[in-house]
C-alpha cells in the first residue's frame, strides 16, 4: 500500500479504489517502521470507504492492527448523510482511563506499600466473569444516569463529576435498547476491573513538563496518583455484538457495502443508527459508573491503609476520559460548521483550551489526556491543544508492539512479575500466567508516542508518571 510523507510526523495513504477520503497517520519514522509490520495501514484505508466520512481516515501515533478499525483510529462522518459503525467504537464501549490525585508522597506509599497493595488486592474485583462492588439492582439507573447514579448511591464524591468527560453521563442514553443478554452479562459486573490490558496502577508523578497545566490539573512532582483503565465489561461487549449483528442485515437494506464486515454500519439518521447510538450511550454510562465505583473503592482502600478518612486522602479526580466512543460533535469542515459523528476507537478526546465542553477551571489549559504506557514503564498526562488536526483527538496508550502469542512465548508470567518486583513495582495479578502478554516488551515506547502527539499538535506533554504498584485481572 502506498504511503506518502506529508510532514515530519504525518503520513498520507492516497485515495485509491473505493476510498472516499485519504488516510492520515500521525507517526514518527520510528513508529512507522512498526506500523508497517502489521495490517493497520490497510485498516486505515478500509475505514476511508465509509459513507459520509470527511477529511481523512485518521490514526493516532499508537496505531496498531485491530478488527475493522485500526486501534488508534479516528473517523468523522457527516450526521446528515453519513454512517455510524459500532466497530469504530469497539466491543468495550467507553473503555477509558481515570486518574486520581492524592495527598500522599512516594515515601508515604513506601512506608505502607504492602498494606495498600493488600487492601487493593482484597477490594478490587477483577478477572473473568461475575463479582463486583455495586449491587446489580442499580444497573438500570446507571444505564440512564451513569456516574451521577453511582454518586446518588453513595459511591464517590459529587464534585468528581466536574472532572469527568460528559460529567460521567452520556446524553441520549436509551437503556431500553440494551438487550436482556447484555443486562445479564453486566448485572454482576458493576464495579469490576475485568482482565487483559485493564489495570489499576499506583504511580508517582516523576517529571513535570508543564508546571501551569500540572497545577491546574491538581498534580505535583512526587505525588502519588492512581490510574484506572477499564470499560463497560460484558454489558458493553454484548451490546456491540448485538448491534453489529443487526447492522449486517440492515446494511443490505440501505445499499451499503464495506470492505470488512466488522465495519458494519448504518446511516446515522436511520432507526438502526438511532438504536445503536442510544444503546452505546447507555453502555457508556455503565463504564463511567464502573470507573467511578472502582475509584471510590480505591479511596476506601487508601483510607484504611493509612488510617485516615477518605477526605483526608486528598484523592481528587484529575480527569476521566473515554477512548472507545462515538460522539456527535460540531467541527469546521471545508470552512463550514458541520455536525459530525466522531468515532474514536482506541483514541482519546483531546479538546484544546477554550472548548465549551471543558470545566471552567480547565478552560485555560485544555482537557487532560491520559496515555498509559505499560506495567513496567511510564504513563503520560497530556493536554489538548488548539488547532488539533484530528477532530480533537489524541493517542490512548503506548500501542502494542507484538502479538499476544509472541509476547507469551518471550517470558513466563512469573519471570515478568519477578522483574517488575525487582524494579520496585508491586504486582497483584489474579493470574500470574497472563502477565507476559501485558509485559513492557509487548508495548511501544510511550515516551515516543507522547513526543509524537506533541509534535503533531494532537496533545502537549504535562507530566510523566511511573508505576509503583499494579493490580490486574
Q: Which residues are catalytic?
A: 396
Report how far apart, in Å, the C-alpha atoms of 153 and of each of 137, 156, 158 are.
11, 9, 11
- In the complex, what is the shortest distance from the CB of residue 244 to other proteins, in angstroms, rounded to a whole number? 7
φ, ψ (nearest 5 deg) of residue 336: -115, 140
φ, ψ (nearest 5 deg) of residue 73: -85, 140
Q: Specify whether the CB–CB gap between 85 and 57 falls below 8 A.
A: no
- In the complex, what is the shortest distance from the CB of residue 251 to other proteins, in angstroms, rounded to a whole number? 12
Nearer residue to other proteins within complex by CB, 180 or 422: 180
Q: Is 248 in the site for other proteins (CB under 8 A)?
A: yes
Q: Is 184 in the site for other proteins (CB under 8 A)?
A: yes
Q: Is 249 in the site for other proteins (CB under 8 A)?
A: yes
Euclidean distance between CA atoms 393 and 384, whole angstroms: 8
Options 185, 292, 327, 461; binder of other proteins; rule CB under 8 A? 185
Options 15, 113, 153, 404; binder of other proteins; rule CB under 8 A? 404
Count the helices and strands in the chain (H runs, E runs).
Answer: 13, 19
Q: Give how many residues touch other proteins by CB under 8 A.
A: 48
Q: Specify whether the CB–CB gap between 346 and 71 falls below 8 A.
A: yes
| Binders in 432-451 for other proteins, by CB under 8 A | 433-434, 437
Q: Specify whether the CB–CB gap between 395 and 321 falls below 8 A.
A: no
- In the complex, what is the shortest distance from the CB of residue 130 to other proteins, in angstroms, rounded to a whole number? 6
Nearer residue to other proteins within complex by CB, 62 or 165: 62
Q: Specify whether the CB–CB gap between 328 and 97 falls below 8 A.
A: no
Nearer residue to other proteins within complex by CB, 214 or 398: 398
Q: Is 412 in the site for other proteins (CB under 8 A)?
A: no
Q: Is 4 in the site for other proteins (CB under 8 A)?
A: no
Place of cell 466491543: 91
- In the complex, what is the shortest distance from the CB of residue 241 to other proteins, in angstroms, rounded to a whole number? 5
Nearer residue to other proteins within complex by CB, 194 or 392: 194
φ, ψ (nearest 5 deg) of residue 341: -100, 110
Report how far apart, in Å, the C-alpha atoms of 124 and of each of 11, 193, 438 are.
42, 7, 19
Options 78, 181, 316, 455; binder of other proteins; rule CB under 8 A? 181
Q: Is 127 in the site for other proteins (CB under 8 A)?
A: yes
Report how far apart, in Å, the C-alpha atoms of 165 and of each of 29, 229, 294, 394 are.
32, 15, 17, 15
- In the complex, what is the shortest distance from the CB of residue 334 to other proteins, in angstroms, rounded to a whole number? 32
- In the complex, what is the shortest distance from the CB of residue 233 to other proteins, in angstroms, rounded to a whole number? 9
Euclidean distance between CA atoms 391 and 387, whole angstroms: 9
* Window of 213-221, 276-284, 315-323, 427-435 that interacts with other proteins by CB under 8 A: 427-435
Nearer residue to other proteins within complex by CB, 195 or 459: 195
Q: Specify whether the CB–CB gap between 74 and 60 falls below 8 A.
A: yes
Q: Is 68 in the site for other proteins (CB under 8 A)?
A: yes
Q: Following DSSP, what letter does each residue of 359-403 receive, concatenated?
A: -GGGTTT--EEEE---TTS-EEEEEE-TT-SSSSEE--SS-B-S-
Euclidean distance between CA atoms 324 and 66, whole angstroms: 13
Q: Is 314 in the site for other proteins (CB under 8 A)?
A: no
Q: Is 237 in the site for other proteins (CB under 8 A)?
A: yes
Q: Is 92 in the site for other proteins (CB under 8 A)?
A: yes
Euclidean distance between CA atoms 377 and 469, whole angstroms: 11
Task: Specify the length of the chain in residues.
Answer: 473
Q: Could you list the residues that contact other proteins (CB under 8 A)?
A: 38, 40, 64-68, 71, 90-92, 127-130, 181, 184-185, 194-197, 234, 237-238, 240-241, 244-245, 248-249, 260-262, 264, 400-406, 430-431, 433-434, 437, 473
Amino acid at each position: 500500500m502506498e504511503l506518502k510523507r506529508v510532514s515530519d510526523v504525518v503520513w498520507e495513504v492516497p485515495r485509491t479504489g473505493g476510498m472516499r477520503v485519504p488516510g492520515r497517520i500521525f507517526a514518527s519514522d520510528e513508529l512507522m517502521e512498526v506500523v508497517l509490520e502489521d495490517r493497520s495501514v490497510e485498516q486505515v484505508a478500509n475505514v476511508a470507504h465509509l459513507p459520509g466520512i470527511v477529511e481523512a481516515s485518521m490514526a493516532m501515533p499508537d496505531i496498531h492492527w485491530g478488527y475493522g478499525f485500526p486501534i488508534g483510529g479516528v473517523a468523522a462522518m457527516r450526521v446528515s448523510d453519513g454512517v455510524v459503525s459500532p466497530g469504530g467504537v469497539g466491543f468495550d464501549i467507553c473503555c477509558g482511563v481515570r486518574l486520581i490525585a492524592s495527598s500522599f508522597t512516594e515515601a508515604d506509599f513506601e512506608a505502607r506499600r504492602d498494606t495498600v497493595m493488600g487492601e487493593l488486592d482484597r477490594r478490587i474485583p477483577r478477572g473473568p466473569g461475575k463479582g463486583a462492588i455495586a449491587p446489580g439492582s442499580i444497573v438500570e439507573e446507571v444505564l440512564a444516569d451513569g456516574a451521577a447514579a453511582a454518586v446518588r448511591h453513595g459511591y464517590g464524591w459529587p464534585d468528581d463529576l466536574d472532572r469527568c468527560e460528559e460529567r460521567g453521563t452520556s446524553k441520549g442514553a436509551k437503556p431500553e435498547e440494551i438487550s436482556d443478554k447484555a443486562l445479564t452479562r453486566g448485572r454482576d459486573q458493576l464495579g469490576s476491573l475485568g482482565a487483559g490490558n485493564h489495570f489499576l496502577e499506583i504511580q508517582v508523578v516523576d517529571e513535570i513538563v508543564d508546571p501551569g497545566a500540572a497545577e491546574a490539573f491538581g498534580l505535583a512532582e512526587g505525588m502519588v496518583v492512581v490510574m484506572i483503565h477499564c470499560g463497560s465489561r460484558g454489558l458493553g461487549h454484548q451490546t456491540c455484538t448485538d448491534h453489529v449483528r443487526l447492522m449486517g442485515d440492515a446494511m443490505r437494506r440501505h445499499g451499503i457495502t464495506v470492505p470488512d464486515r466488522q465495519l458494519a454500519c448504518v446511516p446515522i439518521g436511520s432507526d438502526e443508527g438511532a438504536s445503536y447510538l442510544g444503546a452505546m450511550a447507555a453502555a457508556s454510562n455503565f463504564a463511567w459508573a464502573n470507573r467511578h465505583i472502582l475509584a471510590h473503592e480505591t479511596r476506601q482502600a487508601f483510607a484504611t491503609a493509612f488510617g485516615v478518612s477518605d477526605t483526608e486522602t486528598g484523592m481528587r479526580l484529575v480527569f476521566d476520559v473515554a477512548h472507545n466512543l462515538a460522539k456527535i460533535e460540531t467541527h469546521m469542515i471545508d470552512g463550514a460548521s458541520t455536525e459530525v459523528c466522531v468515532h474514536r476507537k482506541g483514541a482519546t478526546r483531546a479538546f484544546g483550551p477554550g472548548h465549551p465542553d471543558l470545566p471552567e477551571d480547565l478552560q485555560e489549559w485544555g482537557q487532560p489526556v491520559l496515555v498509559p504506557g505499560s506495567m513496567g514503564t511510564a504513563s503520560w498526562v497530556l493536554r489538548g491543544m488548539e488547532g488539533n488536526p484530528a477532530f480533537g483527538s489524541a493517542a490512548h496508550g503506548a500501542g502494542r508492539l507484538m502479538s499476544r502469542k509472541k509476547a507469551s512465548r518471550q517470558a513466563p508470567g512469573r519471570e515478568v512479575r519477578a522483574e517488575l518486583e525487582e524494579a520496585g513495582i508491586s504486582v497483584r495479578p489474579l493470574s500470574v500466567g497472563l502477565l507476559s502478554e501485558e509485559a513492557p516488551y509487548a508495548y511501544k515506547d510511550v515516551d515516543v508516542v507522547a513526543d509524537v502527539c506533541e509534535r503533531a499538535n494532537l496533545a502537549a506533554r504535562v507530566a510523566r508518571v511511573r508505576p509503583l504498584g499494579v493490580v490486574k485481572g
